[in-house]
Each structure stands twice: as structure tokens, then as C-alpha cells.
Structure 1
Amino acid sequence: MRIGYGYDVHPLGPGRKLILGGVEIPHSKGLLGHSDSDVLVHAVCDALLGAMGEGDLGRHYPSSDPKYKGISSLKLLEDVMSKLNVKGYRVGNIDTVIVAQAPRLGPYLSAMQKTIAATAGITPELVNVKVKSGEGLDAVGHEEGMIAHAVCLIEPV
């Protein structure tokens, strides 16, 4: 078995949809970046790529490449899962944490879990999504950005 760790951070700003775990969440700000900036899915992708020894998202999907401008991070996860399958691995589990001050994400965690699982082609029980507040500290606590962490276990098929 192999373990991977993923981390992502994006600033919040006006004029963008807030997408987390592939789910659109009503909010006055969205995450800024080259793709849809879904920090949760980015962290999951980085964890899976890391477990495979394949670097990170920037190596495979550089922000300098215009074909990834505005892309759904779920499309990136689909491609990462293709790489995982080609290498002969399957997902044992994925555990994640979103760090965000606002909005309240509790009502959306199940939808995020199901969306990530469906995109990855695994059962929802293999995906865990948690949320923690920024506790009013630093950029996250001041609602300037969001962070996500992910850990995964992959096993040979």
C-alpha cells in the first residue's frame, strides 16, 4: 500500500462561483485561480498523485497551459484516476479537511463526499470530508481564502 498527502490553498474573491468538492455553494465570494479553484478536489488529486509518486497537479496540469483555464477540477480528478488505474492501483480511502471561516459547509459535506466518490469511481464510504473553522485567525479566519488537506491510501489491484 502507498499513502499520499495533498494540500491546496486559494484566495477568495468576488465574481466567482464557490465550488468545493465539485459542489456549487451559495456564497458572496468564490475561490480565485486558473481552473475552478476547487481546493478540496485539488488536495485530493495531489494526494493521489503523491501516493503514485507522480508529483503534483502543477506538473500534470500547469496553470500556464490555456487548456486548463476554467476547467472543472472534477475533470482533473477523472484524469488522475485514469493514471491510477494505468499504474495498477485502486483507492483504499480518502480523508479530507477543508479549513474555511465561511460559509457554513456542514450541509454540503455529504454532497461533496458523494461527488468525489462518483468522480473517482469508488463508493462514498471510502471518502471522508470534514470542515474546520479558521477560528478568526490568519487569512482563512479573515475570510480571505480557504485551505484543504487530503490523505489517501492506494493499494495494488
Structure 2
Amino acid sequence: MASASSLFLASPIPTAPRTRTNPASSPSPARPSLRLRQPSPAVTVAAALQAEHQPAVVAAPKPPALPFRVGHGFDLHRLEPGLPLIIGGINIPHDRGCDAHSDGDVLLHCVVDAILGALGLPDIGQIFPDTDPRWKGAESSVFMKEAVKLMHQAGYELGNLDATLILQKPKISPFKETIRSNLCDLLGADPSVVNLKAKTHEKVDSLGENRSIAAHTVILLMRK
């Protein structure tokens, strides 16, 4: 997203040094050197406001050529009865599902945010806002594919990924390898660099009371 920090102010034009003269022999004072006028505060503020309201960036930037970049993702969704529970692109049998604008896939949303964070891009909510009807009920694999495309455009590939699901119910162990396999397919990654863990919340707060589900992801991107 553009910011006021990207505004460039005019720099003074260097001028030749003035020759010191004797005031008694000079009929008029020396003329000051010409300089470009700085923009007024009102102009600067207006430009900053205009930049602030530009659409979110959807193209990959050109980050510094670092050998690697690290990103962290977090997501949480409220669970409601009668909705499908989608985790990692897999429909998990449960009496509750995520209340969300899209399919509410907490794991894929989390991974997308980790990739975007590593690239220094706006988060998933800015690039795919829940006010946009195009994403109503959308599969989160659409967001994943876009994030992976941005990663490659920026000149990076996946080093490794470590994700943790936090939910009280249902038990994820029977579906864990299927979820991980689908995650690898979306990332175009070997299973050896994609790790998935699942933990309960010891019946504490909304997570432990089966009223919500959350995920954390840490990702390492390597320069190609």
C-alpha cells in the first residue's frame, strides 16, 4: 500500500558560492541564489491522503536481494453450528464450521499471511477484503495460488514451513497427512519442508471451549 513516506520533496539546487564584496562600493545588496520552493504543508498533506486511499498492492514488489526472508502468519475464526469446517483445503467432519466471508480455511489464510509478511506485502485482509463480493464463499486455494505467484515473482522459493493448528475438537490426527499433502501441492513443495502440528487449548477460553479455531505459521523463503 502506498504511504506518505513515498512522497518526494524537491531538493535545493546547488549554486556557485557568492563573491564577498565591500558594502561601501556596492550600490545594491547581492541577489540571493535561486532555490526550488518546497511544497506547502497543505499540498504535502493532500498528497499523503491521496496515497493512503490507493488500492492495496497486488503485484510483487522488488525487495532487497536478501538471501532469505522470514514471515509469520496468524488467523482465528469463530466456530458456528451448521457450517462446513475446511482446514488446509480438506472438509473435516464436525458439527461446527468457521464463520467467514470466504470458506474460512484458517490454515490456508494463516499460510498466505506468512508468505505476504515475508515479502513485505499487505496482509490477506487488504488484498482480498471481506467487503469484496468476489471473495464471498471463495475457496482459500485461490488466495494461496496468488501468494505463491507473488513469492516467485519476487524471486523467492519456499525454504521450509512450520504450522500449528489450535482447536479443541475434532481430532486432526486422522486427517493430518491429507491436509499436509494438499498444502504441499498448493505450495509446490516437497513434504520434507512442510510441517504441520495440531494442539488443543486445554479447554481454556474460546479455543478450549470449541467456540473458535486458530493457526500459527512460520515460513522461510530462500532467494532463487
* Normalised-by-shorter TM-score class: over 0.9
Does the 8 A contact of 1:9 with 1:147 survive in 2? Answer: yes
Higher relative contact order (CA 8 A, sep 6+): 1
Residue 124 (structure 1) shift: 1.6
**Stretches (4+) displaced over 3 A:** none
Q: Secondary structure at the match of 2:182?
A: helix
* Deviation sequence 1:27-83 (CA, Å, 0-9, x none): 001111001111111110000000000121011100010101111111110110011
User: CA RMSD of the aligned region, Å?
Assistant: 0.7
Find out whether 1:55 has 2:122 as its counterpart: yes
Q: Structure 2 CA distance, aligned partners of 1:121 and 1:16?
A: 29
Q: Structure 1 CA distance, aligned partners of 2:110 and 2:148?
A: 14
Amino acid in the other structure paired with 1:81: V
Counterpart for residue 146 of structure 1:
213
Q: Structure 2 CA distance, aligned partners of 1:45 and 1:144?
A: 23
Count of aligned pairs: 157
Residue 125 (structure 1) shift: 1.6
Find out whether 1:93 has 2:160 as its counterpart: yes
Amino acid in the other structure paired with 2:175: Y
Identity of aligned residues (%): 38
TM-score calculated relative to the size of structure 1: 0.98
TM-score calculated relative to the size of structure 2: 0.69
Does the 8 A contact of 1:9 with 1:145 survive in 2? Answer: yes
Does the 8 A contact of 1:99 with 1:140 survive in 2? Answer: yes
1:16-55 equivalent positions in 2, closer than 5 A? 16-55=83-122
1:102-121 equivalent positions in 2, closer than 5 A? 102-121=169-188
Does the 8 A contact of 1:118 with 1:124 survive in 2? Answer: no
Does the 8 A contact of 1:12 with 1:146 survive in 2? Answer: yes
Q: Structure 2 CA distance, aligned partners of 1:121 and 1:152?
A: 14
Q: Structure 2 CA distance, aligned partners of 1:141 and 1:28?
A: 16
Q: Structure 1 CA distance, aligned partners of 2:191 and 2:138?
A: 24
Q: Structure 2 CA distance, aligned partners of 1:148 and 1:127?
A: 15
Q: Secondary structure at the match of 2:95?
A: coil
> Which is greater in Rg?
2
Residue 15 (structure 1) shift: 2.1
